[in-house]
Structure formats: structure tokens, C-alpha cells
Amino acid sequence: MKKLINQVDDIVNEMLDGMTAAYPQYVRRLEGFDVLVRSEGSQGKVVLISGGGSGHEPAHGGFVGKGMLDAAVAGAVFTSPTPDQIYEAIKAADGGKGVLLVIKNYTGDVMNFEMAADLARDEGIEVEQVITADDVAVENSTWTTGRRGIAGTIFVHKLAGACAEAGGSLAQVKSVAEKVIANVRSMGMAVDACTVPAAGKPSFDLAEDEIEIGIGIHGEPGVNREKISSVNDIADKLLDKIFAEGIYNSGDEVAVMVNGMGGTPLMELFVANKHIKEVLNGKGIKVYKTLVGNYMTSLDMEGFSITLLKLDEELKKYLDAPADTPAFVQQ
């Protein structure tokens, strides 16, 4: 294993300190906790908090800032943050208008965020939650009951965050988040696995001519292993599974995210996006906005995921709203 690290056990701590050193205008770290909050605070608005295991950067700390998250909680690599860390994030970020927790559907995340929410409610803080489950690859997995939450979670951060920034009530912000969740679907693939520093070896083995279709974001192998083919063919396989959901039809407008898994060159992501747009155009589906880059990664995994979000006028308004975070800036 070759990694640019010091000590394995210090990675998350040093990463968070490095982020605050790079972006003090956006984030500060809660002393003694693996939590990043907005530098300027979040008084007078509904607060959005998300998080999960580290290794998905720029998620989640990279999306703390105006128009998106108010706090992010970092667990160990691919490990849910503990309830006490989440609880401290809720208390620190609460601006008096309520808190919405955005939770990816992994058993540990759901359990620990719900425990923290209960603790906060006991303190008189109004807390609601939504659970993202956009991955169409599997119905259940080793880590979940139901579908996994993957890159589509970023659209929840963006649109619900915009609603909160605009002064929406907790009920309104939750409603926007739920609308996004109902209309977003994703699927990913890998050319090569990631290596968790503590494990020291790839999470699964692929031959030089093999790929995994339907991978998760925690180094999980896919649902199908096959010979590598052109990126157009691979994108078609991912899109076919997404289209099988039956929610994207001719005349619709969508936002597209082509998300790198951490080790994929932007060149390859843009090649994939070219074909994705052509396929959508051929189906009479209008691409309203496209995001290409690393948003929800899996350490150094090579591969990509495709996310489609079906839009209406309300969702387009919040998608277009300004945002200013370390990893996402929109004027």
C-alpha cells in the first residue's frame, strides 16, 4: 500500500485540521470533536447536518457553507460517526429554527443519527430527519436494509440547503428534501477498487480486463463483474437500470451528476457525460444542469456514478440558488 499519510490512526484528525487551515472563511472545527460547522454560525435559520464515515471527500465537510450544510460529522474511514459526535454537531449548529438531519441509508448511520436526534430533542431542540436511498444497484446490501444512499445525497444538500437559506421553515425544508429523494436515482461502477488505509489492501480484486457494475461508496464490490468495454457501453448499462425505475420520461427536465469515485481523471468523466447527454436527448429528456467531478467519492477508487434528478419549477429554483462552500460555489 502506498498512501500519502503519517499514521493511519491520525488520518481523520489531520484531515479535519487541514481543511480548517485551508478554509477558515467557511468552516471551524468543534474542539474535541470530529465536527465541522460554519465559521459564521447559523443563527435564525433551519440547520442542515449530514455526515458519515470519512473517505468520501469532498463529502461531507466540503459542502458546509452558505446554501448547503451547516455542519458535517466525520466518522473514521467508512465508519459511521458516533451519536455523541452527532449530538455535539446538532447543539453547536442549532440556530433556533430547527435541525434537519440528512442521513445516507446505512445501518450504522441511521441508528447513530437517530440516537443523537433523540438526545437533542430531550434538550428541547426540534429535529427532523430524511434518509437518502438513491442507489438502484441493490434492494438490500450488507450494510443496509433497503437501498444505499450515495451521490444523489449531494442534491439533497444543495436543494434543501437553498430552501433553508431562503428562510424556509423546518417543515418546508424537509418537504424539499423528500421531494428530491423521491426523484433522484444513481448507479455506479468501478474500474479498480479502493484501499482503506487501515486494511492496507484493495477492498476487492479485479483482473486487468474486469470492471464492477453497481458498486457502493464503502469499497463494496458490485452486483455484476464483467469484461471492460467502452465507456459508452458502461454508461448505457448504468442508465438502463436508472431508466427501469420508470420515473424519467420524454418531456422531463433533469439535473445530471457524473460523479468521480476518487481516482478517475476528469477527462474520462467528461467523455462519459457526452454520451449520457446524447442518450437523454434521444429519449426526449432535457438536461437542465450538469455537474461533473468528485462529489461523493470512495477514497482512491477508479470509476464513476451517474445520478439523475427529475426537476419541477420549485426544484429548479433551489438548484439554481447561490451556494458558497469549499467544494461547491455557485453565484
Active site residues: 56, 218
**Separation CA 134–CA 49 (nearest Å):** 19
> What does each C-alpha distance from 158 to 50, 63, 248 come to in angstroms?
12, 9, 21
Q: Which spans in 42-152 are helix H?
A: 83-93, 107-122
The per-residue b/e assignment along 87-115, b for 16 or more CB within 10 angstroms, e otherwise, is: bbbbbbbbbebbbbbbbbbbebbbebbbe
**Separation CA 237–CA 224 (nearest Å):** 11
DSSP 63: G
Residue 86 · residue 128 · CB < 8 Å: no
Q: Supply the angle between the helices 170-183 and 153-165 in degrees, to the nearest 10.
A: 150
Phi-psi category of 262—alpha, beta or left, where left has phi over 0 and alpha has psi -120 to 50?
A: left
Q: Which spans in 102-259 are helix H?
A: 107-122, 153-165, 170-183, 231-243
Residue 153 · residue 116 · CB < 8 Å: no
Number of helices followed by number of strands (H, E) in the chain: 8, 14
> What does each C-alpha distance from 25 to 31, 95, 157, 219, 330 come to in angstroms?
17, 19, 20, 33, 16
**Separation CA 84–CA 67 (nearest Å):** 26
Q: Measured on CA atoms in the order 275, 278, 283, 285, is the torsion positive or negative?
A: positive
